[in-house]
Amino acid sequence: MSTPPFPKNITIETTASCQLRCPACPTPVSLGRPRGFFSESLFQQLMEQVSWPLEAVSFGWSGEPLLNRSLPRMIAMAGVIGAVTYVSTNGLLLERDGDALLDSGLSVLRICLDGVDQGMAEKYRIGTDFDKVIQGTKRLVERRAARQLRTPSISLQMLVTRDTEAYLSDFLALAEACGVDEVYFKSFNLSLSDWLPSSHRQEMARTYLPVLPSSHRFLRYTLDRSGEYALLPEILAAPCPEIESGVTILHTGDVVPCCEDFRGSHRLGNIQQQSLEEIWRGAPYHALRMKVRGRALSMCEECSYPGSGGYNQVVPLRPVP
């Protein structure tokens, strides 16, 4: 297969820090590389390198994007070149930064709540403040309406786990009360690159994967003959879309192939030394693509990203603003 002409989507590691300690996230305990923030000047340099139609820029990934005070200005830069912009947040800083996000022209905001009350939410989102997130969400919706803005589209996310699976209708009612545009029910991901040992992954499966028959549509995994959880065959067989269409850029400017490379194990170049186009078309990237297409990298062996979209559910609550 030939090299795709250009990356259509860019994921930015806005920061490598977070206030929460979610069990399936390596950021709090096992990132294995320095913390830091993606600087505004580095992002400006990146935008100047993009000479092709860029479809989307996602801000977030390993850390909480709103911790980076330059985020609104970076969103605005990406909007200038016509990219759709996405932010996924834990919501703790919405009260502080809500107006700046509205000013930025952000396209899509996903607020990860993962529960219908404090007790449920903090079982997974350790360190969260449920009421603070709800307050910030409601205020943002109100300010968007008061300013007669069409964007951002605002959604509330709930991870479907053993603790939350019986409360989907309650979460929908909560989202309606907040006035958001949609709800995103997200399936639980155990295929966390190669930072999580297999034994720990199985323990996490037994703790978090939903068990109700009505929740099977959210399961990316099945029990194998040995009684362990394994990826569904159709996900294992699916080709990786990210290696053909997207890149992830660390806060240092290092380019890695995708959002599964938490530790930056496969660095393909740095946008401070080469242009993104040169890195994308370079020999190291080409060699890596060949390995990824055959799931020959350890981080690809159990990756659930290809084909996993069908195991999530989006519920529109009102017309897109």
> Structure pTM?
0.95
User: Tell me: the pLDDT tens digits for 65-117?
Assistant: 999 999 999 999 999 999 999 999 999 999 999 999 999 999 999 999 999 99
pLDDT of 3 higher than 80: no
Q: What percent of the chain has pLDDT over 90?
A: 74
Where would I find the beta strands (DSSP E) of the chain? 9-12, 56-59, 84-89, 108-112, 153-160, 182-187, 221-223, 229-231, 246-249, 255-256, 313-316
Angle at the Cα of 91 from the Cα atoms of 107 and 183, rounded to 5 degrees? 60
User: Tell me: the pLDDT tens digits for 195-210?
Assistant: 677 778 889 999 999 9
Q: What is the DSSP string of 190-206?
A: ---TTTS-HHHHHHHHH
Instruction: Assign a CATH topology to domain 9-189+244-274+312-316.
Output: TIM Barrel (3.20.20)
- Give the largest Cα separation in the chain, rounded: 57
User: Tell me: the pLDDT tens digits for 280-319?
Assistant: 999 999 999 999 988 888 888 888 888 777 899 999 998 8
* Residue ranges per structural domain of the chain: 9-189+244-274+312-316
| C-alpha distances out from residue 15 to 39, 64, 79, 221, 250, Å | 9, 7, 20, 30, 8
Neighbour tally for 113: CB within 10 Å: 27
Distance CA(108)–CA(86), nearest Å, equals 5
